């Protein structure tokens, strides 16, 4: 079996590290690192809605913000929101909404902030995995956790968790996925590139299998915090 640029097997994710409670002043927070990609998430709320006319008497409103730091990539990223970060904020929100019980918090806002401090592809997936852990850490009522990883088609092989080098290969297909394992629900599926029907099926199944592995890591990190009395 031929290998990938960094020596991984086709179904092997990069090394993952996850931790909750990294921002003490936030209601919930998490760090999620996959290879060289690092996401930090902070959750604030449920809190008062500003401006007040935005509040919903039926449920909480959830706002998601994604940001990549200037120093997160070799070529300095211009600070501040751009089209890409606004789109990823929306993608994050859509991936998380199916699991959050917003109806339990009418007339409030839940704010989810994710910052990418180091980027080597797969940042939206790391952002979703970190945000999901931070929401759980904030004690927000949830039906499930969302676990996320990209799959794709590189050099004629279906692979999981593409790094930047693989993303840059000519003809690569990148498919960020998010999955809620207990609900057995795919909450995000994007596709950048071309792929055959047969390989698409293989990629989705590899994505679901890999998200289940991410889920175990997320769960372990949450349990660790609470077995250490919050420290």
Q: Counting contacts by CB under 6 A, is residue 123 touching ligand CDP? A: yes
- Comparison of 19 and 124: residue with beta carbon closer to ligand CDP: 124
Residue 132: name the closest of 205, 196, 214, 228 by CA.
Answer: 214
Site for ligand CDP in 7-26 (CB under 6 A): none
Q: Whose CB is nearest to ligand CDP? A: 123
CA–CA distance, 42 with 30 (Å, rounded to integer) = 7
Site for ligand CDP in 154-193 (CB under 6 A): 164, 167, 176
Fill in the per-residue mask, 81 to 110: x = in contact with ligand CDP (CB under 6 A), - = not in contact.
Answer: ---x--------------------------
115 φ, ψ to 5°? -115, 135
Contact present, 42 and 23 (Cβ < 8 Å)? yes
Scanning 2-10, 46-54, 105-113, 118-126 for contacts with ligand CDP by CB under 6 A, the matching segment is 118-126
Contact present, 63 and 96 (Cβ < 8 Å)? no
Contacts of 231 (CB under 8 A, 6+ apart): 21, 225
Straight-line distance from the first to the last Cα atom of the chain, in angstroms, rounded to the nearest whole number: 44
Q: Counting contacts by CB under 6 A, is residue 207 touching ligand CDP? A: no
Scanning 24-32, 39-47, 117-125, 133-141 for contacts with ligand CDP by CB under 6 A, the matching segment is 117-125
Give the neighbor-by-neighbor strand order of the sheet with 37-47. Answer: 16-20, 28-34, 37-47, 109-118, 61-68
Residues near ligand CDP (CB under 6 A), total: 12
Q: Counting contacts by CB under 6 A, is residue 200 touching ligand CDP? A: no
Shortest Cβ 89–ligand CDP spacing (Å): 12
Shortest Cβ 173–ligand CDP spacing (Å): 12
Binder of ligand CDP out of 14, 67, 112, 120 (CB under 6 A): 120
Q: Which two tokens stand for residue 151?
A: 């799959």
Shortest Cβ 84–ligand CDP spacing (Å): 6
**Sheet strands (E) in the chain:** 16-20, 28-34, 37-47, 61-68, 109-118, 147-154, 157-160, 173-180, 185-189
Q: Counting contacts by CB under 6 A, is residue 67 touching ligand CDP? A: no
CA–CA distance, 176 with 167 (Å, rounded to integer) = 12
Interface residues with ligand CDP (CB under 6 A)? 73, 77, 84, 119-124, 164, 167, 176
């Amino acid at each position: 079996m031929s290998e990938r640029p960094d020596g991984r097997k086709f179904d092997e994710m990069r090394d993952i590290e996850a931790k909750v409670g990294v921002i003490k002043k936030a209601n919930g927070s998490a760090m999620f690192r996959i290879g060289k990609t690092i996401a930090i998430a902070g959750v604030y709320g449920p809190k008062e809605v500003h401006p007040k006319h935005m509040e919903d008497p039926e449920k909480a409103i959830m706002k998601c913000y994604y940001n990549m730091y200037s120093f997160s990539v070799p070529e300095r990223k211009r600070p501040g929101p751009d089209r890409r970060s606004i789109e990823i904020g929306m993608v994050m929100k859509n991936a998380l909404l199916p699991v959050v019980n917003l109806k339990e918090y009418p007339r409030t806002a839940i704010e989810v902030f994710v910052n990418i401090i180091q980027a080597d592809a797969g940042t939206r997936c790391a952002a979703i995995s970190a945000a999901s852990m931070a929401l759980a850490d904030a004690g927000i009522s949830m039906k499930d956790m969302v676990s996320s990883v990209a799959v794709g088609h590189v050099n004629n092989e279906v692979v999981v968790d593409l790094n930047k080098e693989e993303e840059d290969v000519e003809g690569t297909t990148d498919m960020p996925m998010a999955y809620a394992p207990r609900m057995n629900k795919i909450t995000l599926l994007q596709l950048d590139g071309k792929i055959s029907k047969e390989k698409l099926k293989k990629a989705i199944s590899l994505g679901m299998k890999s998200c289940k592995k991410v889920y175990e890591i997320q769960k372990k990190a949450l349990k660790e915090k609470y077995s250490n009395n919050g420290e």
